[in-house]
Structure 1
Amino acid sequence: MEKLFDQQTHDERDPNPWLAMYLDSSIPLNDETKRALMRDNDSMSRRYLQPFIRVWSAIAMFFIHVFKFVLPGVPNSSKALHRILAWGLRRFVSADANLLIFRHFHVGSEIMQFISKNIEGVEVGTSPLKPADFEAVKEDLFLQHDLNLYNFVIRLNSALNEKNLGIKGRRPLNLDMITPGRFNHIEFPKKWTNVLDLRSAIELFTPFYQFFLTKNDFIRASNSLQLDETIAIYTSQILNSPAHLGLVNNKHPMVPVSTYSAAYRLVLHGLAAETLHKVLVKLKEKEFEDGILVNQ
């Protein structure tokens, strides 16, 4: 067993907070994700590099904001951005952080597919993003993720309005799209340069995102994080259970938040998606023996 997760090393005078969070079962979370996230929190990068990277990121974003005010359409190259992101992820981001990033696309795609397939009276198409390696990042992966989310909300609600329907879950639930085990992706590199933790990587890449994309693309990407609440409400209406809404921290999409907090909110966004996905995995595995499954 890894030292971080070994209860035999627990010192009651100096308890490890990440061991406590790993052992705590109050929040539903995939075990591989939980281990990766706790190792990421315990990393040297998170403790020592992240404070400096956060300051650099905020300063860089301020000057890019001024630059974009003067020249709002320059530059505009999603291709260049995603090539930089793919290179940076491969060379400098830790295996744990890469795992959390790549899992997020799979998890988000399956949640949207679940919603699409389980609303009575309507079904809208989705565009699943399930990257297996760094080459997939170059296909405008991050930008397409944001576009897919907004387009899904627009298409779904247009279809509901057209038929004068509300969201009501189909029975029985269709959980065919939910993957209980590991997703299909590569083993991520663990070279000596792969040291950046998740939030440090996001903080470092955010100014590049802001610089290479249009103002609309960047602001939309930042605001999309608050759609966590929207997606969680859709799912709660399908399941007829609001329990998982308490796990959502990015809320109120009608009230945008400063783009300077995007990195922190992006990590919360990933956690919200993982917890909701785990709820659906438990349903698929029939671990919930009361409530939703009994009522089907």
Structure 2
Amino acid sequence: MKNEFKDHVWDERDPNPWLALYLDQSTPLPDAVKAAWLRDCSGASRQFFLPAIRPLARLSMIVIQALKIFLPKRWAHSMLLHRLLAFSMNHFVSPEANWLIMRHFHLGSQVLQFVAANAPTKVGTTPLTPTQIDDVKDELFLRHDLNLFNFVIRLNKALRENGQQLVAVPEPDFSMIHDPDLRLEDMPRGRLNLLDLQSAIEIYTPVYQLLLTDNDFWRASNSLQLDETIAIYCAKILASPEHLVLLNNKHPMVPLSTLYAAYRLVLHGLSTEMLHSLLMRMASGEAPIPARELAGIQQAA
């Protein structure tokens, strides 16, 4: 895939903001990922469609929450939800957005495997490694959320039972950290595959809320606030007291309104990419990352 940012002509009287973000190296992201992310952000869909759909999506979430008062507590259609998600990703979501979504399952699994492999006690993981969009139909999004909470519970139960804590590892095991075998070129490229990542997530969130139980939806929303928790796990293993990513989804014990779940989900995806990129650098034997790059910065929502 051609990287248009590398060939962009710089006009000092009209500098391109996306070029500035691409060239900036203050955030740890691979060039291919950064280019895909910025290409998706700079498209017409995000500029014109997102401002219109966001308030409608949030209003629909309020209506759905009221509607669920009258629905059975266990009312849910998870299989239908994931079939709808797979269909829309195949036919309407941009190649860049689909690529980033699919990467996220791999990266999240690898980060949890890294923590498990370097924990002082044995902890099992259940990696999710989808190879095609239709794999989403196997309740992939729901399983992703369940995996995260189950891992935190499994890890800390084991640590408590053995009177242990995560500690610095002189030579961490990075064997599970690698670039996923997913190609941007293989993502669907139909005439209607135009929807950017943020707009897609804004649309998906109320559908997610409608077709899952309240318990499943709230758990999924609250899982976003474990970004800081996982970053702290990695910081302890790597003997770095600083946070490893640009964090926004914190503090873990202060749940935020589900109305902002879509925006926070985008930040969650970006922070996962950054943490994985840092681990990739260390795995490749690069020089230690400067402290300023490791410093956590809490962005205003």
How many correspondences in the alignment?
Answer: 289
Instruction: Decide whether the 8 Å contact of 2:169 with 2:239 is kept in 1.
Output: no
- Once the two structures are superposed, the pairs formed by residues 137-216 of structure 1 within 5 Å of their partners are 137-179=136-178, 181-184=179-182, 187-216=186-215
Three-state SS of the structure 1 residue aligned to 2:68 is helix
CA distance in 1, matches of 2:256, 2:68: 19
Unmatched 5+ stretches in structure 2 = 292-301
Deviation track 1:49-95 (CA, whole Å, cap 9, x = no partner) reads 11111122112111111101221536411100000000010000000
Instruction: Decide whether the 8 Å contact of 1:93 with 1:194 is kept in 2.
Output: yes
The 1:102–1:4 alpha-carbon spacing in structure 2 relative to 1, beyond 3 Å, is: same
- Once the two structures are superposed, the pairs formed by residues 121-140 of structure 1 within 5 Å of their partners are 122-140=121-139
Shift in Å, 1:118: 0.5
CA distance in 2, matches of 1:266, 1:94: 17
Shift in Å, 1:29: 0.7
The 1:280–1:68 alpha-carbon spacing in structure 2 relative to 1, beyond 3 Å, is: same
Shift in Å, 1:168: 1.0
- Once the two structures are superposed, the pairs formed by residues 263-274 of structure 1 within 5 Å of their partners are 263-274=262-273
Q: Aligned partner of 1:139: which letter?
A: D
Which residue in the other structure is 1:38 paired with? 38
Determine if the alignment matches structure 1 residue 27 to structure 2 residue 27: yes
Instruction: Decide whether the 8 Å contact of 1:133 with 1:185 is kept in 2.
Output: no
Instruction: Decide whether the 8 Å contact of 1:146 with 1:224 is kept in 2.
Output: yes
CA distance in 2, matches of 1:156, 1:83: 32
Instruction: Decide whether the 8 Å contact of 2:75 with 2:212 is kept in 1.
Output: yes
Deviation track 1:98-153 (CA, whole Å, cap 9, x = no partner) reads 01100100000000000000022x02100000111122100100000000000000
Instruction: Decide whether the 8 Å contact of 1:244 with 1:276 is kept in 2.
Output: no
Instruction: Decide whether the 8 Å contact of 2:82 with 2:137 is kept in 1.
Output: yes
Which residue in the other structure is 1:103 paired with? 103
Which residue in the other structure is 1:47 paired with? 47
Shift in Å, 1:176: 0.7
Unmatched 5+ stretches in structure 1 = none
Shift in Å, 1:169: 3.4
CA distance in 2, matches of 1:251, 1:84: 30
Which residue in the other structure is 1:261 paired with? 260
Which residue in the other structure is 1:87 paired with? 87
- Let me know the Cα RMSD of the aligned residues: 1.8
CA distance in 2, matches of 1:144, 1:280: 24
Three-state SS of the structure 2 residue aligned to 1:247 is coil
The 1:85–1:55 alpha-carbon spacing in structure 2 relative to 1, beyond 3 Å, is: same
CA distance in 2, matches of 1:12, 1:74: 59
CA distance in 1, matches of 2:54, 2:64: 15
Single out whichever of 224-233 and 52-61 deviates more from structure 2: 52-61
Instruction: Decide whether the 8 Å contact of 1:53 with 1:204 is kept in 2.
Output: yes
Instruction: Decide whether the 8 Å contact of 1:40 with 1:97 is kept in 2.
Output: yes
Q: Aligned partner of 1:25: which letter?
A: Q
Instruction: Decide whether the 8 Å contact of 2:106 with 2:180 is kept in 1.
Output: no
Which residue in the other structure is 2:274 paired with? 275
Instruction: Decide whether the 8 Å contact of 1:199 with 1:267 is kept in 2.
Output: yes
CA distance in 2, matches of 1:3, 1:100: 18
Deviation track 1:178-222 (CA, whole Å, cap 9, x = no partner) reads 10x342467101111000000000001111100000001001101
Three-state SS of the structure 2 residue aligned to 1:70 is coil
Instruction: Decide whether the 8 Å contact of 2:91 with 2:192 is kept in 1.
Output: yes
Q: Give TM-score, length-normalised by structure 2.
A: 0.91
Instruction: Decide whether the 8 Å contact of 1:4 with 1:39 is kept in 2.
Output: no
CA distance in 2, matches of 1:286, 1:42: 34
CA distance in 2, matches of 1:289, 1:128: 28
CA distance in 2, matches of 1:56, 1:114: 39
Instruction: Decide whether the 8 Å contact of 1:60 with 1:207 is kept in 2.
Output: yes
CA distance in 1, matches of 2:57, 2:148: 26
Deviation track 1:242-278 (CA, whole Å, cap 9, x = no partner) reads 3444522111111000101011100110111111101
CA distance in 1, matches of 2:181, 2:146: 23
